[in-house]
Each structure stands twice: as C-alpha cells, then as structure tokens.
C-alpha cells in the first residue's frame, strides 16, 4: 500500500484497507438463571442451594452492550421441557444468561 502524507488519518486498523470491526462493549448485567442472587436450588426431594452454574455465584454476567432479553426464555435463562413432570433446563439460545444477540435487521 502506498502511503502519502495524508493517508495516516484515513488508514484502517490494518494495511489492507479493511474496515475497522465495531464490537459492542461488554457490561455487567443481572444473571437470568438465578435472577441475580447467585444461588439456585438443586435436588428433587431434598432441596439445597448451590452457586449458580452460569454466573458462578456472583449474580452478574458480562455480555455485550447491544444484547437484548432472550425471546425464547423471556430473560429467565430457563426452558421448561417437562411434559408430565416439571423439568427445567438452561436455554440453548442464551446459554442461561437471559441475554442474547439482537435479531438481524430485515433487508
């Protein structure tokens, strides 16, 4: 790439003319799986509380700032899969955080 006097301010991150990638900044948001408490109940007959497997007990997760509430689980991070008996698993789309990527705009 030929560099002149004035190309320094118009240059991108690399020398091949590719545009700069714009990544959203990460921010801490409340965990959807434990609802920000950091603890979840475990066990069928004898209930006990353990640290949340998604946020590791902190109550907050780091997600990009452009993420929205997950429409599949409605921000809870859990999906009901039980037919006869109630059974709850982590949401596949948001992986239990309650936050997911915004949908792509229609073109």
**Cα-based distances in Å from 91 to 21, 63, 68:** 29, 16, 15
Structure tokens at 6: 């004035």
Domain positions in the chain are 26-100
Q: How confident is the model at residue 42 (pLDDT cuts 50, 70, 90)?
A: confident
Question: Percent of the chain beyond pLDDT 90?
Answer: 23
CB-count exposure of residue 35 (10 Å: 0-12, 13-18, 19+): middle
Please report the pLDDT score of residue 23 as a whole number: 67
Length of the chain counted residue by residue? 107
| Entry pTM | 0.66
* CATH number of 26-100, picked from 3.30.230, 2.10.230, 1.20.1050, 2.20.25: 2.10.230
Asked if 23 and 43 count as a contact pair (C-beta separation under 8 A), the reply is: no
Q: What tens digit of pLDDT does each residue of 58-73 get?
A: 999 999 988 999 998 9
């Amino acid at each position: 790439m030929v560099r002149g006097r004035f190309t320094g301010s118009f240059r991108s991150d690399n020398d091949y003319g590719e545009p700069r990638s714009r990544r959203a900044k990460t921010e801490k948001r409340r965990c959807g799986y434990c609802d920000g408490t950091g603890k979840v109940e475990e066990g069928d007959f004898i209930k006990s509380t353990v640290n949340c497997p998604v946020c590791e007990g902190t109550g907050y997760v780091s997600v990009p700032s452009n993420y929205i509430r997950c429409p599949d689980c409605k921000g809870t991070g859990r999906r009901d899969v039980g037919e006869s008996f109630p059974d709850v698993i982590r949401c596949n789309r948001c992986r239990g955080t309650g936050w997911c990527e915004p949908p792509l705009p229609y073109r």
